[in-house]
């Protein structure tokens, strides 16, 4: 009997030795290999310019904070190159506050997955500066699309190879890869135009024709500004504009460029086309029966004007009378301001002599 | 001893099976049904309008910031209504979050059979005064009260209505006019009378409304110019009925039931008045060569023609198809023969379509038996919506 108890105690002792508290080390190791957003951007050869900007702005550690959640919009190096930023030293030209504001524009304080965004245009999410960014997803049966601030997000095949995804998931963030830079300004459209030396002729024209105040008061507003080179190629300088008598011209001469209440990025036409299953221009009925047309992915990016009879009246030679789109200046679109969007046209859509009373 | 054990075990098992079921009841109910009739689509011009995708909150409560955070009834994910609202909640088993009407696929208490009418598409609500607020919401699967506060702020309409016990109400949100921006929204409520009216079982009843936005027709005519008819109707239209019996797919619409061609029914005037339009009727078993003399299965189908008062179809007087400008539209009620653009030119082109107003279903020993219904046709901004209400059918007969 005593022997039996001895054996039992020994057995219990041995059993106790066999006990083990698993801590699932292997799982921890697996998850620790996923990087934080800062490291991911820093280690990616396509994002070296953005990584440099993040570091210069002092936000690298912020993006590596393991306890935080971010959505980071990361423009590729090509996107910065198109915006004339070719090397990391180009960021030195920016005042540090401006650079920090710019980088913070690209960071949102929550994780926003493509599939979690409502299926409609213009979902607003604030970035680190507190400025709302416009997210527009489309998830169709055959085709998806995703724009942020009017810029397309790069889609790629998911790991299973059976669908397009727009999310790069890191430990503390979701990253959306952008094919172009975004332009987010805290100022009004009026302040934006006033601060641009290349729009001074157009600003003078809006003041002369009584449209200047609407750049501050209208909301939402889409402004199709004409660059100085476009104005001056047609003989319109700030001085000559001030010599025009507004009473002698149909208001459409300049009113068509100021459209409200509309908030249209260039790629919105593509997104509307996907949602409505049609490729339509934006047609704005305007002063005197004219219609101001904004075209996008289907007809070339730009604008044109039709007279009340539907005839093209633009300055571009059109042998058969078909509308010719006046294009935007390269990388001159989708400047988001607090009360609207600005696109910069390379030319007028109608010459003064065409709308002279 | 063993017997006692088994008995005890049985008692325990039986007790385990006990369950107290609490039936939800609503005392003194009124019945209401809601349609989201905001049918503007996304265009560059309307992109910045609030999304016509709704959450309906009845008797809402608000937090300290004035943001809605609860309510007695929530009708969520209310998408634009479908062209045909069947006489029973056909989408009740729908697993999609989208709901095309309220109650629709919501699992709520619905109306009983009242005076022979199936009210299962009308939700119960306690009678008395209620505040209805309709919010625009993002198109997502997140329930309304879990959305961020900023997404629960835009109210399309906010109204208080007094609902009487046992009465039947149909509610809609409508676009008021086409001239203003943002698009002005109007709450519309119709106090239905069909449960109180005498109807004949051998007749099918239908009434007509034009709830279009002010100026929609003029704008559509201006936009379309001389392009075809049927996409909008003018503010005052006459309605003519033609009944057809089955013919070939190649040439549908040629077999007219004798005596039922271009029968003047009523006129319809664009209005948001909450009254019930008068019901018009037609027989479900009219006589024609080859008709079913047993009055079991009716094979006819209906065509309603909307013409402006300038035209008289009996005299062969139709607007030019190429320039009808809202003077002409057709609603064809058939599942079988009529498809849009089968014909070119009036009197048969550009039909709105709905299922047959005569409901034919298997019943008793009959594989197909036809019953009449009470329907409302609502013309709203280039769409024709048909709401059909079922009369009480004969009980099924078991036969093996």
Chain B positions in Cβ-Cβ contact with residue A281 (cut-off 8 Å): 44
Chain A positions in Cβ-Cβ contact with residue B150 (cut-off 8 Å): 124
CB contact under 8 A, B139 and A276: no
Q: How many CA atoms lie within 13 A of A11 on its CB side?
A: 6
pLDDT at B8: 79
Residue from B42, B51, B148 whose CB has the most chain A CBs within 10 Å, to mutate = B42
CB contact under 8 A, B44 and A118: no
Say which range, B128-142, B186-200, B236-250, B268-282, has the weakest mean pLDDT: B236-250
CB contact under 8 A, B44 and A269: yes
- Decide if B18 touches A, using CB distance below 8 A: no
In the predicted model, what is the mean pLDDT of residues B229-252?
A: 78
ipTM for the assembly: 0.74
CB contact under 8 A, B47 and A283: no
The rounded radius of gyration (Å) of the Cα atoms in chain B is 25
In the predicted model, what is the mean pLDDT of residues B60-66?
A: 94
CB contact under 8 A, A283 and B150: no
Q: Which residue of A has its CA nearest to B150?
A: A124
For chain A, domains (ranges, CATH) are 32-182 (2.30.180.10), 189-355 (2.30.180.10)
SS3 for B273?
coil
Encode pLDDT of B12-29 as tens digits. 777 777 777 777 888 899
For residue B61, give the nearest of B131, B116, B164, B139 by alpha carbon: B131
Please say if the pLDDT value at position B282 is more than 90. yes
For residue A105, give the nearest of A81, A76, A126 by alpha carbon: A126
A65 DSSP assignment: -
For A64-217, where are the alpha helices, taking DSSP H only? 77-82, 96-105, 189-194, 200-208, 214-217
How far is the C-alpha of B360 from the C-alpha of A94, rounded, in Å?
Answer: 75
Encode pLDDT of B321-349 as tens digits. 666 778 888 888 886 655 544 444 455 55
Please say if the pLDDT value at position B395 is more than 80. no
Label residue A247 exposed, middle or buried (CB < 10 Å: 0-12, 13-18, 19+).
exposed
Q: Which residue has the tokens 């039992």?
A: A8
How far is the C-alpha of B304 from the C-alpha of B323, rounded, in Å?
Answer: 20
Q: How many CA atoms lie within 13 A of B337 on its CB side?
A: 20
Encode pLDDT of A68-78 as tens digits. 999 999 999 99
Looking at the complex, report in whole angstroms how far the Cα of residue B41 sits from the nearest Cα belonging to chain A.
7
pLDDT at B352: 81
Strand order in the sheet with B168-175: B123-126, B29-36, B168-175, B185-192
Inter-residue contact B369 to B281 (CB < 8 Å): no
Encode pLDDT of A263-306 as tens digits. 999 999 988 888 887 667 888 888 888 989 999 877 789 999 99
pLDDT at A69: 94
- Decide if B275 touches A, using CB distance below 8 A: no
pLDDT at A22: 55
Encode pLDDT of A21-53 as tens digits. 655 555 545 455 678 999 999 999 999 999 999
| pLDDT top residue among B172 and A17 | B172
As a whole-number percent, the residues of chain A with pLDDT over 70 amount to: 92
Chain A positions in Cβ-Cβ contact with residue B42 (cut-off 8 Å): 121, 272, 275-276
Q: Which residue of B has its CA nearest to A120?
A: B139
Element (H, E) at B14: helix B2-16
| CA angle centred on A224, ends A223 and A225, rounded to 5° | 100
As a whole-number percent, the residues of chain A with pLDDT over 90 amount to: 63
Beta strands (DSSP E) in chain A are 70-75, 107-108, 123-126, 132-139, 144-148, 151-152, 156-157, 164-165, 168-169, 173-178, 183-184, 221-226, 258-259, 282-285, 291-295, 302-306, 326-327, 335-337, 340-345
Chain A positions in Cβ-Cβ contact with residue B140 (cut-off 8 Å): 116-119
For residue B272, give the nearest of B58, B9, B37 by alpha carbon: B37
SS3 for A228?
helix
């Amino acid at each position: 009997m005593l022997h039996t108890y001895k054996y039992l105690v020994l057995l219990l002792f041995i059993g106790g030795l066999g006990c083990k508290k698993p801590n699932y080390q292997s799982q921890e190791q697996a998850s620790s290999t996923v990087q934080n957003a800062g490291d991911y951007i820093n280690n990616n050869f396509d994002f070296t310019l953005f990584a440099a900007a993040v570091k210069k702005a002092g936000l690298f550690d912020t993006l590596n904070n393991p306890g935080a959640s971010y959505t980071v919009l990361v423009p590729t190096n090509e996107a910065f190159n198109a915006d004339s930023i070719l090397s990391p030293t180009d960021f030195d030209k920016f005042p540090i506050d401006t650079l920090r504001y710019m980088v913070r524009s690209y960071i949102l304080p929550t994780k926003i997955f493509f599939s979690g965004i409502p299926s409609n245009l213009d979902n607003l999410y604030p970035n680190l500066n507190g400025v709302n960014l416009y997210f527009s997803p489309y998830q169709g049966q055959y085709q998806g699309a995703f724009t942020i601030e009017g810029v397309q997000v790069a889609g790629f095949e998911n790991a299973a190879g059976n669908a397009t995804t727009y999310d790069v998931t890191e430990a503390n963030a979701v990253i959306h890869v952008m094919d172009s830079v975004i332009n987010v300004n805290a100022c009004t459209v009026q302040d934006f135009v006033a601060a641009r030396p290349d729009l001074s002729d157009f600003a003078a024209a809006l003041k002369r024709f009584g449209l200047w105040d609407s750049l501050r008061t209208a909301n939402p507003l889409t402004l199709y500004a004409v660059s100085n080179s476009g104005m001056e190629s047609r003989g319109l300088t700030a001085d000559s504009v001030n010599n025009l008598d507004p009473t002698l011209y149909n208001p459409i001469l300049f009113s068509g460029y100021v459209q409200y209440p509309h908030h249209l990025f260039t790629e919105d036409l593509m997104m509307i086309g996907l949602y409505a299953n049609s490729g339509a221009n934006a047609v704005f009925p305007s002063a005197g029966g004219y219609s101001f047309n904004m075209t996008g992915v289907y007809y070339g990016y730009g604008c044109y004007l039709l007279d009340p009879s539907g005839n093209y009246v633009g300055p571009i030679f059109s042998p058969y009378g078909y509308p010719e789109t006046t294009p935007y200046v390269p990388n001159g679109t989708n400047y988001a301001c607090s009360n609207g969007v600005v696109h910069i046209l390379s030319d007028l859509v109608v010459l003064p002599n065409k709308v002279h009373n | 001893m063993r017997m006692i054990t088994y008995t005890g075990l049985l008692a325990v098992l039986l007790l385990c099976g006990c369950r107290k079921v609490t039936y939800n009841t609503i005392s003194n109910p009124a019945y209401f049904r809601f349609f989201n009739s905001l049918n503007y689509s996304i265009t560059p011009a309307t992109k910045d309008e609030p999304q016509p995708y709704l959450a309906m909150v009845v008797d809402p409560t608000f937090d300290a910031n004035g943001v809605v955070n609860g309510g007695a009834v929530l009708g969520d994910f209310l998408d634009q209504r479908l062209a045909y609202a069947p006489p029973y909640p056909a989408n009740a088993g729908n697993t999609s979050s989208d709901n095309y009407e309220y109650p629709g696929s919501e699992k709520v208490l619905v109306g009983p059979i009242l005076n022979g009418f199936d009210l299962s598409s009308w939700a119960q609500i306690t009678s008395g005064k209620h505040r209805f607020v309709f919010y625009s919401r993002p198109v997502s699967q997140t329930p309304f009260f879990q959305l961020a506060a900023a997404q629960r702020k835009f109210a399309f309409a906010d109204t208080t209505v007094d609902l009487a016990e046992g009465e039947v109400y149909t509610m809609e949100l409508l676009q008021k006019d086409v001239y203003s921006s943002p698009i002005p929204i109007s709450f519309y409520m119709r106090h239905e009378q069909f449960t109180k009216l005498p109807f004949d079982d051998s007749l099918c009843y239908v009434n007509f409304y034009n709830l279009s936005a002010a100026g929609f027709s003029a704008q559509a005519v201006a936009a379309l110019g001389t392009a075809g008819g049927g996409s909008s109707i003018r503010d005052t239209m006459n309605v003519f009925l033609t009944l057809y019996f089955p013919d070939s797919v190649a040439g549908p619409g040629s077999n007219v039931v004798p005596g039922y061609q271009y029968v003047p029914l009523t006129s319809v005037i664009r209005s948001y008045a909450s009254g019930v339009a008068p019901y018009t009727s037609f027989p479900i078993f009219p006589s024609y060569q080859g008709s079913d003399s047993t009055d079991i299965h009716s094979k006819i189908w209906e065509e309603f023609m909307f013409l402006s008062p300038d035209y008289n179809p009996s005299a062969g007087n139709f607007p030019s198809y190429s320039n009808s400008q809202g003077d002409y539209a057709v609603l064809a009620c058939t599942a079988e023969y009529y498809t849009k653009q089968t014909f070119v030119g009036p009197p048969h082109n550009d039909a709105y379509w709905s299922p047959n107003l005569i409901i034919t279903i298997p019943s008793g020993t009959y594989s197909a038996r036809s019953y009449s219904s009470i329907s409302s046709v609502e013309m709203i901004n280039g769409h024709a919506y048909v709401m059909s209400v079922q009369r009480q059918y004969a009980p099924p007969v078991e036969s093996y």
